[in-house]
Amino acid sequence: MNRLRLRRRPVPASGPWPASVPPALRRVCAARGVLGPEDAELRLARLAPPEGLSGMASAVELLRAAIAEDRHIVVVGDFDCDGATGTAVAVRGLRMLGARRVSYRVPHRLMHGYGLSLALVDDLRRLRPDLVLTVDSGIACHAGIAAARAEGWRVLVSDHHLPASSLPEADAIVNPNLPGDAFPSKALAGVGVVFYLLLALRQRLRADGAFARRLPEPDLGELLDLVAVGTVADLVPLDYNNRLLVAAGLRRLREGRCRPGLRALVELAGREPALLSAGDIGFGLAPRLNAAGRLDDMSLGIECLLCDEPERARELALMLDGINAERRELQAQMLEQAERLAAATVEGQGGLPDLVCVHDPAWHAGVVGLVASKLKDRWHRPVIAFAGEEEGEGMLKGSARSIPGLHIRDALAAVDARHPGLIGRFGGHAMAAGLSLAPEQLAAFAEAMRVEVGRRLSEEQRLCELWTDGELAPEEIERGLAERLRLAGPWGQGFPEPVFEGEFELLEAREVGRGHLRMRLRHADGGPVLGGIQFGGWTGERPPGRLRLAYELDLDDWGGRRGVQLRVRHLEPAPMV
């Protein structure tokens, strides 16, 4: 495992803040480019307009004609949380805008594979769609789109994944990452792209006078709770535009003005609605939705998001919660096996390789991405984890996770170009990608990918670093600041959660749960006794009595308390004085 190095974020000079804003919060904001109250305002009026997305005019015309002529629109989603929320946004939004014949299908991970595949097109024939709208997929589905159009269906692709050198032959494509696209935010999630498509469609219908003639103009802001959940869950960078979308959605969630299914998931996750944060979405809501697509059928998650009856929505949420518990158990078993394989790889190579590649034929394809992510965090190296062959397909399914500075999809594209035919299919983002591979190609692929990653990684990128926002004085570690920090987000990729550092005296340490470290601490400069938790931090031995910690300031509401605790990200012995 790489030794971690703490580094402090530089803090530029900032403008005048109201006296009510704590100095620690001002420092945190300035370090992220928010230099004053004006920068901190997240008003939807500042949202980038949809006209900047290329392909939007053609896409809107397809939808406008389909609604006017009462055609059957089939939304094809994806089996992750972004795809599920995007599908729900598309179905709800199109109905709000007057479409009467809207249905959806989501591919089953094991039966159909990814996106609009040939297998899914076969299943769609019985629905007899007139227009297929893909959500969070499609840009890599050349064969499926060609087959769909051969059936006489129109195909509209809404996606955000990076395209290959050639685009599919769809009737229209909306994707901020198309070459030459002028939209200012390239970080939209799939749910964000389809939300923008609905905004543009509403503009067109308004100009046509449709709302004056036959239906009231809908408030598409009602969909922002779903947009927020999908955007946070997909770990896209929270640039200013995405922060606007997520902040607006969080407001709806905190105020209880959200889908009954989301309200039920918040309750089952044990989160306090009024203080809900992007972290609560990422660690509480998203895993429960994602579990359906990983182990079962994401249609269950979409039905939960589409349900308007609170009692039925809670029943569906309980089912998702049960599947998520099963996922956690399976993940723990797979991770234990993967850590042994990774450790053997490291030992066999006499040091930490530039890429960790692990495979077990018994692993579940829906969980290998989570395993890769955990190993990536542990070793600070890009990781690719492969599950066994899919029945009838004969290909290994792999999930890749990367570290800052290494664009994993570009690395896969380079290997594919140098070794044609080595990789079956691949696609993804800078930090995450999926691929398929013939079993007999695994060793050759792993070696080619290690060479490519080694070519791209600098020595600086190989170092494991954790950036902090400096130290807090003992009197600053209190409930009020913790609440202000939580509500000052949304925090996430590209706008990271505040992390502080400092020296503490360890008063008590014990294991809780499965390998978690629970502590009682006191700041080195005095102050009250504080609780601390480091998930996965129990090593079997008590840490030293004086520690240097990197931590997040967290609320502690366990057992009715209304206190504060330290969520420890890293600990090490404090330097000798």
Clarify whether residues 235 and 213 are in a common domain. Answer: yes
How far is C-alpha 456 from the chain's CA centre?
A: 25
Q: What is the pLDDT of residue 394?
A: 81
Clarify whether residues 360 and 215 are in a common domain. Answer: no
- DSSP code at position 79: S
For residue 23, the tally of other CB atoms under 10 A from its CB is: 11
Clarify whether residues 359 and 380 are in a common domain. Answer: yes
N-terminal to C-terminal alpha carbon distance within the chain? 27
Domain assignment of residue 230, yes or no: yes
- DSSP code at position 283: I
Q: What is the pLDDT of residue 290?
A: 93
Whole-angstrom distance, CA of residue 10 vs CA of residue 32:
9
Domain boundary among 422, 444, 462: 462
Q: What is the pLDDT of residue 429?
A: 80
Domain assignment of residue 518, yes or no: yes
Domain boundary among 435, 462, 489: 462
Q: What is the pLDDT of residue 288?
A: 95
For residue 518, the tally of other CB atoms under 10 A from its CB is: 17
Clarify whether residues 434 and 482 are in a common domain. Answer: no
Bridge partner list, 464 = 4
Domain assignment of residue 10, yes or no: no
CATH of the domain at 272: 3.90.1640.30
Domains held by the chain: number:
3
The alpha-helical segments, DSSP class H, found in 349-407 are 368-379
Clarify whether residues 315 and 376 are in a common domain. Answer: no
Domain boundary among 437, 462, 487: 462
Clarify whether residues 171 and 286 are in a common domain. Answer: yes
Q: Are 518 and 529 spatial neighbours (Cβ–Cβ below 8 Å)? A: no
Sign, Cα dihedral of 342, 347, 348, 354: positive
Mean pLDDT of each 10-residue bin along the chain, 577 residues long:
82 89 95 91 94 95 97 95 97 97 91 88 95 96 96 97 91 96 95 98 94 86 98 93 97 95 95 92 94 90 96 97 94 93 82 91 92 92 88 81 92 94 88 91 95 93 92 95 92 94 97 93 95 93 95 84 91 85
CATH of the domain at 498: 2.40.50.460
Domain assignment of residue 17, yes or no: no
CATH of the domain at 424: 3.10.310.30
pTM (two decimals): 0.91
Q: What is the pLDDT of residue 391?
A: 54
Torsion of CA 270, 274, 277, 282, to 10 degrees: 30
Clarify whether residues 484 and 526 are in a common domain. Answer: yes
Clarify whether residues 236 and 279 are in a common domain. Answer: yes
Domain assignment of residue 343, yes or no: no
Clarify whether residues 187 and 266 are in a common domain. Answer: yes
Bridge partner list, 356 = 383
Can you read off the two tokens belonging to residue 398?
A: 């792999």
Whole-angstrom distance, CA of residue 259 vs CA of residue 309:
9
Q: Are 427 and 161 spatial neighbours (Cβ–Cβ below 8 Å)? A: yes
Sheet holding 356-359, edge to edge: 356-359, 383-389, 396-401, 432-437, 425-428
Domain assignment of residue 56, yes or no: yes
Domain assignment of residue 28, yes or no: no
Q: What is the pLDDT of residue 576?
A: 73
Whole-angstrom distance, CA of residue 463 vs CA of residue 494:
19
Domain assignment of residue 18, yes or no: no
Show the domain range for 231. Answer: 51-322
Phi first, then psi: give them for residue 495, nearest 5 degrees: -145, 70
